[in-house]
């Protein structure tokens, strides 16, 4: 077996995860999205990160 079918299966799986995600998540709204750059946006950083503890 070559690497090609592994990549195809993986990419199909990622596409499947995204499809299910879009079907079960809140609708996307680009008009309330944050600006392109966090730097100079005046907004507090709010993303989740591996180093974050709940409440920190």
Span 1-56, contacts to other proteins by CB under 8 A: 1-4, 6-7, 9-11, 14, 17-18, 20-22, 24-26, 28, 30, 33-56
Q: Minimum distance between the CB of residue 8 and other proteins, rounded to whole angstroms? A: 9
CB 42, min distance to other proteins, A: 7
Q: How far apart are CA 5 and CA 23, in angstroms?
A: 27
- In DSSP notation, 6-18 reads HHHHHHHHHHHHH
User: What minimum distance in Å lies between the beta carbon of 25 and other proteins?
Assistant: 4
Cβ-proximal residues to 45 (8 Å cutoff; 6+ apart), any chain: 38
């Amino acid at each position: 077996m070559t690497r090609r079918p592994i990549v195809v299966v993986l990419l199909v799986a990622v596409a499947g995860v995204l499809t299910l995600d879009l079907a079960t998540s809140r609708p996307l709204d680009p008009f309330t999205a944050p600006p392109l750059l966090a730097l100079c946006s005046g907004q507090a950083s709010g993303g989740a990160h591996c180093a974050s503890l709940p409440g920190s």
